[in-house]
Amino acid sequence: MSRKPSKQKPSKSWRARRDYAVGVLIGLVLVGSLFLVAGCRLSTTTAAEPAGTDYVVFLDLSQSIRADDRALMKSALTDQIVPTLEAGDHLLIASITDRTLTGFHPLVDESLPPTPLFNGWTDNLLKHKKQVKEVETQVPRIKERINKEIAAILDRPHGSMQTDIFSSLLLTEKLFHNESRRKVLVLMSDMIEDYAPYRFEKVSWAPDATGNILKGLEKDEMIPTLSGVCVYVAGASADSPAQAEQIAAFWQAYFKRAGADMDMSRYAHVLLHWPPSQACAF
């Protein structure tokens, strides 16, 4: 009878080498997976970060504005708004006139370069750091130029006889159209509309006045869509405290109808609670 060949058991040294090789292979797979996940997370996080903020500032530079009001505007712009501008932000400054829609042109229109995005798979780290440094150098220079432009604007006379705030807000909708950045609107005005047929100084401000004005504006398609816009008012004023309160209540109702976020804590004679917090409904 022939014997079947017996199976030879692998030696301990062979098993050790096999286990070691398997362990190394598993380790390499895990390390590669970690790099892949980290790269994906880096790309996802970078892409999800907001690209900056789009600021639109309307200045009431009509003949009724006094020198001290202009000084407050300049201080709010150069001491509060401009210093908070960051890479990727855009600032547009325009005046509120009686021809805002037909004769619009920005007084300041400046964009700060965005911080370069970094992709751990394709980008060179040293090159990326150099690009970031260039942006960090450009931003202060642009902000300095903006401050000079603001000073020149507020030093020269402006001859608008009337204040058409409603038209400025219709234009704001166009300026923010398809804007992916955070949107902030700053109105530096006494907020007293002075354009027919809505002249606030001639309104009796009876209990139904706000509702009647809003109905008229809706009928004339004069209420814009400003959803996702954080609104500030600096310069609010009136002939009496009662009138100031009534006008403020109107604008609160108006911006609510427009879908904007205008908390009354941001409606004042000066610019309060700056810079915008995450509480704003961006």
Q: Which of 244, 249, 254, 251 lies closest to 201, judged by CA?
A: 244
More confident residue, 125 or 178: 178
Q: How far apart are CA 39 and CA 172, in angstroms?
A: 39
Average pLDDT over residues 188-211: 89
Q: Look at residue 174 and tell me whether its pLDDT is greater than 90.
A: yes
Tell me what percent of the residues of the chain surpass a pLDDT of 70. 76
pLDDT of residue 46: 41
Tokens describing residue 74: 């300049």
Model confidence pLDDT, tens digit, residues 213-245: 999 999 999 999 999 999 999 999 988 999 999
One-letter amino acid at 238 equals A
CB-CB contact of 62 with 161 (8 Å): yes
pLDDT of residue 3: 53
Model confidence pLDDT, tens digit, residues 68-84: 888 999 999 999 999 99
Q: Which of 236, 233, 229 lies closest to 282, judged by CA?
A: 229
pLDDT of residue 20: 57
Q: Look at residue 48 and tell me whether its pLDDT is greater than 80.
A: no
> What one-character DSSP code corresponds to residue 227?
T
pLDDT of residue 65: 73
pLDDT of residue 190: 93
Q: Where are the beta strands (DSSP E) in 73-227?
A: 90-96, 108-111, 182-188, 194-195, 198-199
Q: Look at residue 52 and tell me whether its pLDDT is greater than 50.
A: yes
Strands 53-60 and 267-268: what pairing?
A: unpaired
Model confidence pLDDT, tens digit, residues 118-127: 666 666 677 7
pLDDT of residue 116: 74
CB-CB contact of 228 with 282 (8 Å): yes
CB-CB contact of 194 with 200 (8 Å): yes
CB-CB contact of 157 with 138 (8 Å): no
Model confidence pLDDT, tens digit, residues 29-40: 444 444 444 444
CA end-to-end span of the chain: 90
Question: What are all long-range contacts of 176-182, with beta carbons under 8 Å and residues at least 24 apart?
Answer: 176/54, 176/56, 176/226, 176/229, 179/54, 180/51, 181/50, 181/51, 181/52, 181/53, 181/54, 181/88, 181/89, 181/90, 182/50, 182/52, 182/53, 182/54, 182/230, 182/276, 182/280, 182/282
> How many separate helices (H) and strands (E) can be counted in the chain?
6, 8
Report how far Cα 72 is from the mean position of its chain's Cα atoms.
Answer: 22
pLDDT of residue 167: 93
pLDDT of residue 35: 45
